[in-house]
Each structure stands twice: as C-alpha cells, then as structure tokens.
Structure 1
C-alpha cells in the first residue's frame, strides 16, 4: 500500500500547482494510475493459469481501454479546442472499457472455447450498441446539461452492472484462484462506482474538480495493490454448491439480456439497429446453448467410455467384464451355445513389483495385456483386466478344445516375450484357469468365475506357467502354430 500513499499526494500537489480546470497534469496522473493497474493485472496473469489467467488478462485489457480513453483526453488538453476530435475517441474507449469486464463476468471459464467465442462476440456487439446509444445523445463536439446528466446515469448503470455481477461471481466462486480474481474485481468495481458516481454528479470543471481529481486514480491503485498481492476482498462465507451452480448456469444469460435492454433503449433513436441487436442476442444465446450441449454430449460419451476402460492397460475394466459376461450368458441361453472363461494371473508379480519397482511392474502389465489381447482373434472374444495382476478372457461359443487352445496360446506367447523378472525362471509367465458353462439353464456368472478361479489356483499350486481346465482333460493341448 506504499504506492497509493506516494501517488495520491503527488497527484494532489500537481493539481494544486496547476490551478487550471483543463490542465494536463491531472490527466497524466489518471493515465498513469490506469497504466499501473493494467501492468499489475498483466503481471498477475503471468503468474496465474487456466481460468484465472484469462480473467486477469481481460481485466488488464479493460484497464488498457480506460487508460487509452484518458490518454485521448490528455492529448486533447494539449491541442487547441475543436481541432483534435479526441473527445469522440475517448468516449468510445470508455465504452469499450466495459467489454472485457462484461466478458469475464458473463462467460464461465469452464465452458468450451467455442461457446466462449460466442460470448466474446456478444460482448463486442453489446459494446457497439452501448456506444451507439451514447452517441445518439452525445454529439462529437460535446453535449448539453441534459445530455451530460443522461450520460452520467448511463455510466452509473454500467458501473453498477459490473460491480453487482463481480460481487455475485465472487460469492459463488469455490476455486481459490477465481475467488481472488473476482474479489479483486469486486473491490475495484465498488470503489470505481463510488468515485465515478461522485465525480460525475457532484464535481464540476472548476476548482472543486481540480481538488477532486486525485480521487479518480484510487480505484486503479486499489486494483493494482490487490493484483500484486494476489488477494481480493476478505473471504466471503460459502454460499453453497447450489448457489454456485445457479450462478455459473445463469451467467451466460447476462450478455443476451444486456443486449436486449440496450436494444430496447435504442428503439426510439435507431430502430433498425435495435432490431438487429435483439436478433443477435437471441441467435447468439441459441448458438451458445447448442455448442455447450454438443460439448456436454461429447464429454458424457467420453466419460462413459472411460468408466469401462482400464487406464493403465487400455483393456476393458472389471465393470465392462461383468456386463459382458452377463450379456454373453443371456445370449448363450437363447442360442444354446456355450461360453468359456479364462482367468489369467501373472506369476510372482508381487516379487517383481517389490524388486524392480512399480514403474517396471506397470510396464510388464501393459506388455502382458497387449499380448493377451493379440491372442483373442475372434471379434466376439473379450480380454479384460480383472484386477491387479489378474486378467480374464470371455470366449463366447468356444468349445472346450478351442478354449484350451486359446489359453495355451496366451501362456506360450507371454513366455516368448522373455520379459525379465526376479521370478525363479527369470521371465514373466502366467498361470491360467479355464472354465465353461456346464448347464446353460442354471449356470450363473458367479459359478463360472468360481470354477475358473479354482482352476487358476490349481495351476498355481502345480508350479505356475501352465493352463488348468475345470473339466477333465485327457491330453495336454498345445498352442497353435
């Protein structure tokens, strides 16, 4: 807070030294205050990430517009009256100042970028229509007392709009970085609304105006201090997840609603432009809703897929395995064909993990998974990660001989990979238990899994790296090839 303590007295001393209502030093100090706020917000953006970074950049852009607007007034104060035309440019920049702020308040950062692009376009159209409304009663050369009062009230509404929604977003933010952003923006917006309202309604262009000039820079210095500290208002009490959801869901209505309000105000002055604003607001919000819905459908499909895929191996997970086994048993009862199940376990995997580490263990799991998947050549076969180092394979319609051939192929393929292991044989091997539906009408998934598990246990007990069937086998079955 050292900066305001030095900046404001210097501004006041300079204003008193230049006892002239149109002197350029006060405007220079106001431009410098906005520049300090802009630089501080840009610096904070460089230290932030994600949504907070985008928000700080938008606030910095708003400060840049305001600084340019005062800068035009500063240039105008150095130019003979009526020869520069900087007044209209300055007014336009003050209008554009609200565009980035409206965007950051009305566009939830979690929404897809296409929807946020629509938000940006709506914010620009809102700024254009707001500017058209102002210039409908403010001439390039200035305005009368009635127009000045209308202009003051118009900017009061804009400032109140920004302060209100900044406070709402602050209250609804549960993420700390966003709370700091909206907290700083709320503190700035409330201070700016108070200073601008006081200055526009109670300060004239005489000596009183010169004395009040240092007040203009205070909101910007406050914003700079909050940005540099990375802090906002004091933490507000949590308003609940429901309030947060309502605010985030309702934010996209802000820009179209404001467009409709400004368009309604333009009807007496520019009816065609007002109609265009209404059409843009309606179509823009509709397009945005469609884009968000498309994104949501894509996310739901992706989540549904991820919920059934093991992230380490890329194989179907236990959930998809259970659903597939249930589905195949139902199909087997209708068709009269059998279903074979293989339970596959990596031998001495705990020893491998403890000796070589979990990263190597994960590599071995991926390699085994890929090899097992490659052995299931039929489109109807399904290989899944059952849990830990255990896999399972569903072989619909496979005969006992076919099931044993697939199982032996899997066992031999894993052994031929020659993956190093601290196991007694020095290689990664698998033990397999095979089971098949014995009674299509009464067998259940649980019984089938239990029989395959018992066969797997028998393989382990018999020395590992072998296939054991849950039914009598007269001769060992060899892998094809």
Structure 2
C-alpha cells in the first residue's frame, strides 16, 4: 500500500502536469494523516500516550501543509511558505519532544507541567523562526539550521529512549519513532538544503511521502520483545535525565529570542526554572509516597493488614534486647484460630480469608496499647508482642482477646469462631534465651488446644503450665 501510494503520487505528477501542484499537495497532506491514523490504531494496544502524541504531531504537520497549499493557490507561488504554516511545522515537534521528555509513569499534575513547558517551547521556537523568516537569506539559513537542530534532537532522543527502555510496548514505540525520526531527518535535510528553492509539484515531493509512509507501516507492525541484555545504569540515567530535556530546551530557545522578544524570553526563563522546580517537588512527593508504600508492604501482611513475620521477628528481637538492657519485662502471646482447617474446607478459601481478616482486625483493636504488636505468625496463627508486661498482665490481655473474638457478630462470618492463646513471659534476671520465650508460648498454646481449645494457657519457667478455664475472666 505504501509503494502504491508513492506510485500514484508519481503518476499524478506525470499524467496531469497542469494540476501537479494541487495533486502533490493532496498527497503530501494525506501521507501524514495516514501515519497519524496508524499511530492511533496502534495506540489501542500499548504506550497509548506516545502513539497519540505522534498522531497529534502528524496532524499538525498535515495542517501546516494544508495552509501551505491554500496560500500557494491564493498567491500563485508554490515555492513560498507562509508564516502560519511555519507555526504548524514548528508545533509538529512539540508533542514529540513532550513524549520523549516524559518518564515511564507520571501523575497528571506533572504531565500538565510538561505540556505547558512544551507549549511555551513551541511558541518561542515559532517566534524565533518567524524572526529568521523575515531576515532575508541569512535569516533563512538560520531558520533551516533551527529545523535541523529540532530534527536531530528528536532523532537522538528517540534512539536513546529505544536503547534504554525495558518495557516491550514502550520499546516498540520508541523503535518506530527513532526509525521515523532518522528518515524524516534525512529527507528534511535534503529538501531544506539541496532543493530549498524548488516549488511543490515536482518529483522531489515523492521523497516527502517516504518518512510518513514508513511511520504508517512501522506503526501497524510495531512489535518489540524485551531486550535480552539490560542496561540498568544507563536506563536509570535516561529516566532521571529525561525531565531535564524540556527545561533545558526552553532555556536555550529563550536565550536565542532574548534580543528580539525580551518578554517572551523572560517568560521562558521563569517557566523553565519554576516548572522544573515544581516538577521535581511533585516527583519527590511521589517517590516518598511509593517508598512509604513499599515500607508498608515489607512490614505488613498483605491479607490481614497486621505486621508480617519479618516485622514480628525484628520487633521481638528489639524488645528482647531492650528488656535485657533496661531490666523490664516482656511477654508474648501466640494465638491459633480453633478448627480453622475445618472452617476453610467447609466454607471455602474466600470465607477463610475473611475469617483471618476479621480475627486480625479484632485482635488489633483489642490490643489497644501503642507498644503492643499484633502480627500474623503463619497460616491461621497470630502473635502479640507485649513489652513491659508481666505474664499475669499478658494473660489478662489474652482473655480479652479470646472474648473479643468469641463475640464477633454471627452475621460477619458463616459460623462463630474461637481462639486458643498461649502466653509466655521473660524477666530481666532470667538466663533463658529468646528462643525459650518462643518455645514457652508455643508449648502453652498447644496445652490450651489439648485442654479443649477456646482458652488461655500460661507458661512459666519451672516447666509447669498455669491455665484459666474458657469461661473465666
């Protein structure tokens, strides 16, 4: 289809020379529109923002060509380019720079800042190109140089993004964009520097079709596996440095226009500094929020929301060391949901998960002291670390926990549940190690289960067991 498009363009110029200019303009407008449509189609699959931004760039370029066509038909000079067309040709690069400057994921506020900086960059770029367009041959040379800089920058950043991106859908997008940008750079360089004074309607126009048709073909066939060799350091450097692209370009272009557009240049300086600062602040807030979420995931059980086994081990060791250092007491409760396997087999795993969540919430609410730690010990077992509490006080807490679980409303779970609790305590003068405290609480728990469940049992160093019947307070 792409080859047929070029052949039809060439045949139209050959067979209808009287209408060659109009027909060529039509083909030059259709080519980027086809590329934009292909990008929108591919945008449904992955890296949607990148494909949509590229489609917008194609629409802007086609609009510039359409205005160029209207001016040529009105003025009768197919070799001139009006300033309004220059605006669209300049704006064509803004969405591409925007998507190249973005990191992998951004919140909407950061995206809005990037969009505003990119829009202001386009305005300053247009002001600079309009100034050069009115400055004779020397100005046109500067104008062509500015377009070369824009095209080289887009191609270079696209290649860098392609080399450093690890996600397959984004890697496929940057691969397509890089190949297109290189083709566009080559064609634009030829048109701007070799056939710069040639009017539209000649065979050189066929070259202009090529990068857009290439983009359409590549967009429709975009597939890219994950890279076999990762470059984490380079990838992280590119992701971290990407947000600097827009502010730096804005500063550079503002410097170029400061002699003829002072107030716009000042706006560019202020926007670059404030925009980058505000963007960095929002990014830092997001990083802190993600770090807090990761810390919570490392410390909390994903199902019940109480502390996980890793957090339990760390807190128990820290409290043990503090009790030894300061001469305080330390107690430990191990809790098991009675007949949980039967409950799970009868009502299914979703009901079992709800049971674990409900029991954990009740334990967390009942162990009200801020220093107490409720943790999921494993499976249907929970643990409570009770600093600065004697075994007697811990036993009382165990009773409160048992009664609270027993009082869970009937409508919350398919059937009533109970718990068995083993209590163990440590004293500063005791020579027992931490493992003995865990073993004691475990022994007391199994004693409570052997005694009929739904009760609290306390372990003492003498090896004896002291228990309280299920109905006692």
What's the TM-score, normalizing by structure 1? 0.87
Give the distance between the partners of 1:296 and 1:195, measured in 2 at CA: 42
Asked if 1:4 corresponds to 2:6, the answer is no
Give the distance between the partners of 2:310 and 2:471, measured in 1 at CA: 30
Aligned residues of 2:20 and 2:201 also touching (Cα < 8 A): no
CA deviations 1:4-45 (Å, max 9, x no partner) are 022111111122234369822111111111111111111222
CA deviations 1:375-404 (Å, max 9, x no partner) are 323343332111221101123343433322
Q: Aligned ranges for residues 75-94 of structure 1 at < 5 Å? A: 75-80=70-75, 87-94=82-89
SS at match of 1:15: helix
Aligned residues of 1:332 and 1:339 also touching (Cα < 8 A): yes
Question: Comparing 30-39 with 250-259, which one deviates more in the overlay?
Answer: 250-259
C-alpha change, 1:304 and 1:188, in structure 2 (3 Å) is same
CA deviations 1:417-458 (Å, max 9, x no partner) are 4879xxxxx853322211111445645433211210111122
Q: List gaps (5 residues or longer) in structure 2.
A: none
CA deviations 1:222-279 (Å, max 9, x no partner) are 11122222337x9877451111111111112222222232233324434454444334
C-alpha change, 1:195 and 1:238, in structure 2 (3 Å) is farther
Give the distance between the partners of 1:93 and 1:434, measured in 2 at CA: 77
Q: CA RMSD in A?
A: 3.0
Give the distance between the partners of 1:27 and 1:432, measured in 2 at CA: 84
Aligned residues of 1:16 and 1:210 also touching (Cα < 8 A): no
SS at match of 2:275: helix
Aligned residues of 1:382 and 1:393 also touching (Cα < 8 A): yes
Counterpart position of 1:56: 51
Give the distance between the partners of 1:246 and 1:474, measured in 2 at CA: 63
CA deviations 1:117-153 (Å, max 9, x no partner) are 32222212211111111111213xxx74443333222
C-alpha change, 1:383 and 1:206, in structure 2 (3 Å) is closer
SS at match of 1:449: helix
SS at match of 2:43: helix
C-alpha change, 1:474 and 1:147, in structure 2 (3 Å) is closer
Aligned residues of 1:21 and 1:205 also touching (Cα < 8 A): no
- Cα displacement (A) at 1:171: 0.6
Q: List gaps (5 residues or longer) in structure 1.
A: 421-425
Asked if 1:183 corresponds to 2:175, the answer is yes
| Count of aligned pairs | 466
Give the distance between the partners of 1:461 and 1:480, measured in 2 at CA: 18
- Cα displacement (A) at 1:463: 3.7
Give the distance between the partners of 2:25 and 2:303, measured in 1 at CA: 62
Counterpart position of 1:115: 110
Q: 2:443 aligns with which of 431, 454, 464?
A: 454
Aligned residues of 2:168 and 2:226 also touching (Cα < 8 A): no
Asked if 1:384 corresponds to 2:379, the answer is no
SS at match of 1:465: coil
Asked if 1:343 corresponds to 2:334, the answer is yes
Counterpart position of 2:363: 372
Q: Aligned ranges for residues 148-227 of structure 1 at < 5 Å? A: 148-203=140-195, 206=198, 210-227=202-219
CA deviations 1:132-180 (Å, max 9, x no partner) are 11111213xxx74443333222212211111111011001111100111
Give the distance between the partners of 2:116 and 2:337, measured in 1 at CA: 57
Q: Aligned ranges for residues 384-463 of structure 1 at < 5 Å? A: 384-417=375-408, 428-440=417-429, 442-463=431-452
Question: Comparing 159-168 with 438-447, which one deviates more in the overlay?
Answer: 438-447
Aligned residues of 1:409 and 1:480 also touching (Cα < 8 A): no
C-alpha change, 1:418 and 1:429, in structure 2 (3 Å) is farther
Q: 1:106 aligns with which of 67, 81, 101?
A: 101
Give the distance between the partners of 1:207 and 1:306, measured in 2 at CA: 65
- Cα displacement (A) at 1:116: 3.0
